[in-house]
Amino acid sequence: MNLPKFDEKTASIDAYLAHLREVRRLAKLTCKSYERDLALLNQLSADTPFHGLRVHDIRHFIAQLHGSGLSGKSLARTLSAWRTFFQYLIRFHSYQNNPCQGIKVPKSPKYLPHTLSPDEAAKLMDFENTDELSARDLAMFELFYSSGLRLQELVQLKPHDIDFSEGQVRVIGKGEKTRIVPVGHYALEALKIWLNQRETLARINSDALFVSSRGNRIHPRTIQQRLKVRADQQQLQSKVHPHSLRHSFASHVLQSSGDLRAVQEMLGHASISTTQVYTHLDFQHLAKIYDHAHPRAKRKKISPSSD
């Protein structure tokens, strides 16, 4: 009887992914991302065992991926996944070196997240509750904008996660971390209307707060489509996607309060450096006001002297 050949590289990856799921308890989507990145490392390294890889090999792989069109941001994420994988192998499998240490990836241009103005956000929500689906849409969009949720966080909500007496929502974010976020008056009112109609759509065994027309937990793609349809109906000039509402929430709260740490907690960011991008948006907003209001704000371009 011929036994299948043992693949040490695949076994190492499988063990690491199990560690991420069972010990570090990372989210499913995060584990899937690691799985893709490590499958790529396995493919690029071909017959070379992981313990045989050196810094120049990893640099060569990064150059290959960059040449194929992968952005600096994607390369940084991929390299980070490889680096933490080798750290795991050093700690638990007696590896001697991490070939990813000290390697830098090409930088990508930084793009600030797109946000709606407060008027645009209000216009997006300004549609009538004519049926169950429109009631659901309004409740979803109001909650998005009111509490700055991620798309996947919204999808996973259950009815009992909304606390109407305290005006807050219980959210399970990245890494299965729970946080409590305030919910505004408009969102609470929209949610009450939706919950009164939810039973007409939801399947008996469904515990999802937001369900599809078939009664199952709503799919993220459906939310994206419904948001696009509503934005077109309301004749918004800006492109609107779920993360636009999260970005708008963060930017508008920061503009009003100036409390970066509070915004970090509400967004569920592990690092405040992630939240700091909204300080740039805030500055842009202030700069526009300054340009329009200050009589000497607009500086003329001075042509080079001909002397």
Per-residue DSSP letters for 216-237? SBPPHHHHHHHHHHHHHHTT-S
> Is 299 marked active-site?
no
> Is 150 marked active-site?
yes
Element (H, E) at 81: helix 72-92
Active-site entry in 174, 179, 241, 285: 174
How far is residue 55 from each of residues 39, 96, 97, 147, 294, measured CA to CA in Å? 19, 13, 10, 44, 54
Residue 57 tokens read as 């090999």
Q: Tokens 């109001």 belong to which residue?
A: 142
> Is 246 marked active-site?
yes
C-alpha of 211 from chain center: 21
Tell me which residue of 29, 6, 36, 31 sits closest to 19, measured CA to CA. 31
Cα-Cα-Cα-Cα dihedral sign, residues 181, 184, 189, 194: negative
> Is 28 marked active-site?
no
Active-site entry in 16, 34, 145, 278: 278
> Is 174 marked active-site?
yes
For residue 99, count other CB atoms closer than 10 A to its CB. 21
Active-site entry in 198, 246, 247, 252: 246
> Is 278 marked active-site?
yes
Contact 129, 138 (CB under 8 A): yes
Angle at 99 between CA 94 and CA 104, to 5 degrees: 145
Active-site entry in 150, 226, 230, 252: 150
Tell me which residue of 287, 289, 257 sits closest to 275, measured CA to CA. 257
Q: Which residues are catalytic?
A: 150, 174, 243, 246, 269, 278
